[in-house]
Amino acid sequence: MSADAPLSPEEAKALQFLDRQPGEWYCTHCWARAVGVDVRFIHRFSTILPTLTALAAGYEAMADGPCKVCDARRPGGTVLKSARSVRSRGTPVGA
């Protein structure tokens, strides 16, 4: 994926999911499960997401961040998570 190339169907599906949950953080494992896409693809996508100028304005990714799904399930903070978290800022791209 590049900033100039059109989104693949998997990328579009992944971003649409985040857009329906503005402001909510998801680890790459929970994001992949929710979207029905391979976690390896989602992890690679989350890694390049902040570098894409056309998309960076509306999305955020971080290492070892929170997750709406994992954090709600863990009874003592002992569950392993993926190395990255992502979210939609809830602002339209280009705004």
Q: Is residue 85 within 8 Å of 27, Cβ to Cβ?
A: yes
Two structure tokens written together for 48: 């390049």
Output the pLDDT for position 52: 66
Amino acid at position 55, single letter: L
Residue 34 lies in a domain: yes
Say what the pTM is. 0.77
The DSSP bridge partners found for residue 27 are: 85
Q: Which domain holds residue 49?
A: 9-88
What gap in Å lies between CA 78 and CA 12, rounded to an integer? 32
DSSP 49-92: GGG-HHHHTTEEEEET---HHHHHH-SSS-S---SEEEEE-S--
Question: How far is residue 72 from each of residues 25, 41, 66, measured CA to CA in Å?
Answer: 12, 24, 10
Domain count, the chain: 1
Residue 3 lies in a domain: no
Residue 35 lies in a domain: yes
Q: Which residues contact 7 (CB under 8 A, 6 or more apart)?
A: 1, 15
- Check pLDDT > 90 for residue 79: no
**Residue 75: pLDDT band with limits 50, 70, 90:** low
Residue 94 lies in a domain: no
Output the pLDDT for position 37: 92
**Residue 55: pLDDT band with limits 50, 70, 90:** low
